[in-house]
Amino acid sequence: MLPPTIPIFPLPNVVLFPGVFLPLHIFEARYRAMVQDVLSGDRIIGMVLLRPGWKNEYEGRPPVYPVGCAGLVTHAVRLDDGRYNIVLHGLSKFRIVREESEGAYRVARIEALAETLTDNARPAMRERRQRLEELLATMIDAADQRLPASMPDEELVNALAQYLELEPVERQALLERNDALDRCESLIELLEMKTMMPKDSWGAGPQ
C-alpha cells in the first residue's frame, strides 16, 4: 500500500518496474535531501520519466509523464561528500494526481495503480512468455545465456522491460500497460520490430 503523498525523482532515461531492482547514484543537493528524508521515513521514492524538452527547465520542475513506479530503498550508502548510492526495489505503479508546490525536491499526491493477473489469464501469459523467450534467443549472442525458468512470469517481463536496450519512451509505454500480460504482448511487438532492424540501431535514439 503506497502512501497518498510521496517524493518523486524525475530522470530523462530511467523507468522503474514493479518487482525490479534499480541502483541509483544521487548527487544533486535537492535529491540528496530527498534521500536523507526518506531514509528517516517510509523509504519510498516515486520514479518518473521526464518528458521531451526537459533540458531547458531541469533546474525547476520540467513536465513528467503522469504514470510512474514507486520503489522502496533497500540499500543506501552515504558517501563522504554527501552523495548517496542507493538501490530501489519496485513496489507499485502510480498516477500523479497533483504536485505539491513547496519544498526543495518534488513531492506529488498519487493514486496507486494495481496490476493483477487473473488465473484465467495465466495460460495466455505462459504461451506469450514462450514467444518472448524465442525472440530473445535470436537476439542474444552468447549461447550459454538462458532466462531463469524459475522466475515468475510477471517478474521476468518487468525485468526485461527495464533492462533490455529500449528507448526511454518505449519503456514508459510498457510501464503504462494494464498488466504483465499486456506488457508482454507489447514487448513482443517491440522485439519483433527490432529483429528486423540492424542491431547497431537498437536504442540509438535520443536519451
- For the stretch 118-156, pLDDT in tens is 889 999 999 999 999 888 887 765 434 556 777 899 999
* pLDDT, tens digit (0-9, with 9 covering 90-100), for 85-119: 999 999 999 999 999 877 889 999 999 999 988 88
Residue found by looking up cell 513528467 in the block: 64
CB-neighbour burial class of residue 81 (10 A; exposed 0-12, middle 13-18, buried 19+): exposed
Which CATH number belongs to the domain containing residue 16 in this structure? 2.30.130.40
pTM above threshold 0.75: yes
- Same domain for 10 and 108: yes
What is the band of 5 on the pLDDT scale with cuts at 50, 70, 90?
A: very high
Residue 116 one-letter amino acid:
T
Residue span of the structural domain in which 86 resides: 5-113
Residues with Cβ within 8 Å of 202's Cβ and at least 6 positions away in sequence, in order, are: 165, 194
Q: Is residue 90 part of a domain?
A: yes
Residue after which a domain boundary falls, among 74, 89, 113: 113
CA angle, 6 then 8 then 11, to 5°: 165
